[in-house]
Structure 1
Amino acid sequence: MKRLSNLLAALVFASLVIFMSCGGGGGNDGPTVVEEKTELLSQQWSVNASKVTYDGGPEGDWSGFTLTFTANGNYSTNGVPTGYEDVWPSNGSWEFTDNQASAIQRDGNNGITMDYTVNNQGTSLSLEFTVPDPNARTSGLYDEPWLFEFSN
């Protein structure tokens, strides 16, 4: 009987050790994808003026254009060429479209969804988006993709 009692105690102890060792975390799993991408984006970006295109070709003089993303979900711009304020307003808000940070939504649900690529060092950024035509007019700013390439 003593042997059975010792065996039972050993099984209970072993079971407790197994259940405690395969627990569900409690530790820090590190930053989320959204946190990582937010950290990479949250800085001032300077455009490579020769790498600003509209519908595949150069458009406007963007030399001196800068874009600053902040971690609290705001952005600001400097040096937007006259007549291109619909492409880049002087400031606004931004957020990721999902918890995988697959795209950026600029200026809320009625704003612009931008495809982006940022390198792991946070030294280059590419943004591609289309500006919706607010008045259904046909000018050179709308309905075709814009591509901006930045560095810091």
Structure 2
Amino acid sequence: MDMISAYPWRREKELVYEERRSRGTCPLTPEEMALVLQALGFGKSTQIYIASGEIYGSERRLMALRAAFPRLVKKEMLLDPGDLQQFHNHSSQMAALDFIVSVANNIFIPTYDGNMAKLVEGHHMFELYFLWLCKFCT
């Protein structure tokens, strides 16, 4: 018995990409993200951290983004393989690593409005509110 049929309330998602893309609800592709970043004025020297798991199409899909911004960084590049190994079977812990790096940076630009984007945005809002509130505490 497969996982989906074991739970009757679960079902496979029906993904209709053309419809989602026309509504603007598909994540941006690496090529589209390169165009957005260039339009915002980011140059080739900008270091970009890619906070994600496996990217569909892997390195082939990243070629346009890497050509525009050669300083791409992933968590696999920041940690030693031995240190990263303990997180490999724990996707929530891998996401936590991405969260830590994302909130430590000055700019966070999500490619889609998922949970990570909402969490990082909420964290930045809280930090700004806390700074504003502290003005009245002193």
More strand by share: 1
Q: Would you call these one fold, judging by a TM-score over 0.5?
A: no
State which structure, 1 or 2, has the greater radius of gyration over its C-alpha atoms: 1
